[in-house]
Amino acid sequence: MRDNPARYEQSNVVVFGVNGGSARTHRSFAERQHLPLPLLVDRGLVVARRYGAVLRLGLVKLVKRTVVGIESDGRIVFYQRGTPSTDEILAAFP
């Protein structure tokens, strides 16, 4: 997303990042990475858990990078762990 914001915008695809960090750490990360998207705070990893993105290592819980594409009607049209390409993501949207 960071390298192709215009392609998402042209396709009317809105992108959000979701993570369990604080608003302060999100701001710092977004500035360092030059992210052109809002980062949402997922306090308690509620959203990550619902999308199967929480990895447990003993007592530690980590969010595993997962890309979920959701149509405006709520249908999930894309789901992939890792870092899929912009082409892969946008191909899922009608």
Domain containing residue 49: CATH number: 3.40.30.10
Q: What is the mean pLDDT of residues 63-90?
A: 94
Q: Which amino acid is at 64?
A: K
Kindly state whether residue 47 falls inside one of the protein's structural domains: yes
Kindly state whether residue 94 falls inside one of the protein's structural domains: no
Kindly state whether residue 25 falls inside one of the protein's structural domains: yes
pTM above 0.85, yes or no: no
**Token couple for 67:** 């890309």
Domain housing 65? 5-89
Kindly state whether residue 28 falls inside one of the protein's structural domains: yes
Give how many domains the chain has, as a whole number.
1
pLDDT in tens, 33-59: 888 889 999 999 999 999 999 998 998
Nearest-angstrom CA–CA distance, 39 and 91: 23
